[in-house]
Amino acid sequence: MIKAQHKGFLIFAAPEELADGGKWSVRVLIQRNLNTASVSKQKYFRSKNTCDSREEAEAHSIFMHSG
């Protein structure tokens, strides 16, 4: 899984293959660790953009959210 770090948040590329034709969604999981290693908050975000491959969707996910 491709990941990046930005301002204390971990950003994981989490693309999903769409059911209608082999395109991939641009989706990320953003996680923030709280005061202890065992407690974190996380949330998925999805873009309206789609990509032709998983690799392209992963690269686009991290590029979009790490700048």
Number of domains making up the chain: 1
**64 Cβ contact partners less than 8 Å away, ≥ 6 residues apart:** 26, 28, 47
**62 Cβ contact partners less than 8 Å away, ≥ 6 residues apart:** 2, 3, 4, 11, 13, 28
Q: What's the distance, CA 45 to chain centroid?
A: 7
Q: For residues 52 and 9, what is the distance between their CA atoms, to the nearest angstrom?
A: 28
Residues of the chain with pLDDT under 50: 66-67
Domain with 12, as residue range(s), is: 3-66
What is the pTM (predicted TM-score) of this model? Answer: 0.73
pLDDT tens digits, residue range 29-39?
Answer: 998 876 666 66
Q: For residues 57 and 65, what is the distance between their CA atoms, to the nearest angstrom?
A: 12
